[in-house]
């Protein structure tokens, strides 16, 4: 093959490779790897001591609230966490507390007490627990003592609260894996907290087949 023709073919090959690279984006024909949070919500009720999350999907009835869950409550599809063809490597756990109404100082103290007396457990069927923590640790609350502004004469300071709990080792959930997250109150929450919600997110990289 003449040298100039060979160079021309090499240039064509480089151009095709460059065009192929330009055509590769977030979406891929063979599958995707995306940043993802699988989330679910538990609603506090003074008569309920344990909440099992990621077991009731969108459109299904929550046994605690007796209402159908929507996408503001959960993004679980069906009665399992991950459908066929998906795999989640959870590297962080997110915990968010959403109050139902304006709180007094006494009710805020009840909230902090409930966080300290609530245990988060991550389990996979047939296996031992993969993690157990109090919500106080997961919220990274440096202290939970209420400060009376009128008495102290200074603004109330609660420190920096982060509801993102990094895992030292990721939890890998394959498709159709039966798992559960339970929130267990060792002491019943105060009735003033009824209606407040705790949202839990499993955050990491989601692989899914196209």
pLDDT-derived band at 90, boundaries 50, 70, 90 = very high
Q: Is residue 98 part of a domain?
A: yes
Number of domains within the chain: 1
Residues 142-190: tens digit of each pLDDT:
655 555 555 554 444 454 556 788 898 899 998 888 888 999 999 999 9
Q: Which residues contact 131 (CB under 8 A, 6 or more apart)?
A: 93, 120, 121, 122, 167, 171
Which residue matches tokens 């640790």? 137
Six-digit token pair at 200?
């839990």
* pLDDT beyond 60 at 1: no
Q: Is residue 23 part of a domain?
A: no
* Domain extent at residue 54: 29-208
Q: Is residue 3 part of a domain?
A: no
What does pLDDT average to over the chain?
82
* pLDDT beyond 90 at 89: yes
Q: Is residue 109 part of a domain?
A: yes
Average of per-residue pLDDT across 29-52: 91
Length of the chain: 210
Using CA atoms, how far residue 116 sits from 92, 124, 138, 143, in Å, is 20, 24, 10, 10
For residue 50, which of 136, 118, 133, 124 has the smallest C-alpha distance?
118
Q: Is residue 1 part of a domain?
A: no
């Amino acid at each position: 093959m003449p040298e100039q023709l060979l160079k021309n073919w090499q240039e064509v090959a480089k151009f095709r490779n460059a065009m192929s690279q330009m055509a590769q984006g977030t979406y891929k024909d063979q599958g995707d790897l995306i940043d993802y949070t699988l989330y679910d919500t538990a609603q506090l009720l003074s008569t309920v001591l344990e909440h099992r999350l990621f077991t009731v999907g969108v459109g299904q009835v929550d046994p605690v609230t007796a209402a159908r869950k929507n996408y503001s409550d959960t993004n679980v599809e069906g009665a399992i966490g991950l459908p066929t063809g998906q795999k989640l490597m959870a590297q962080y756990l997110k915990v968010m507390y959403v109050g139902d109404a304006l709180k007094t100082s006494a009710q805020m103290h009840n909230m902090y007490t409930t966080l300290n007396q609530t245990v988060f457990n991550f389990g996979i069927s047939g296996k031992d627990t993969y993690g157990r923590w109090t919500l106080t640790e997961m919220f990274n609350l440096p202290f939970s003592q209420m400060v009376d502004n009128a008495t102290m004469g200074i603004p109330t300071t609660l420190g920096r609260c982060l509801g993102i709990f990094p895992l030292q080792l990721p939890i890998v959930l394959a498709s159709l894996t039966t798992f559960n997250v339970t929130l267990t109150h060792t002491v019943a929450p105060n009735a003033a907290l009824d209606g407040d919600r705790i949202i839990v997110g499993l955050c990491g990289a989601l692989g899914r087949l196209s």
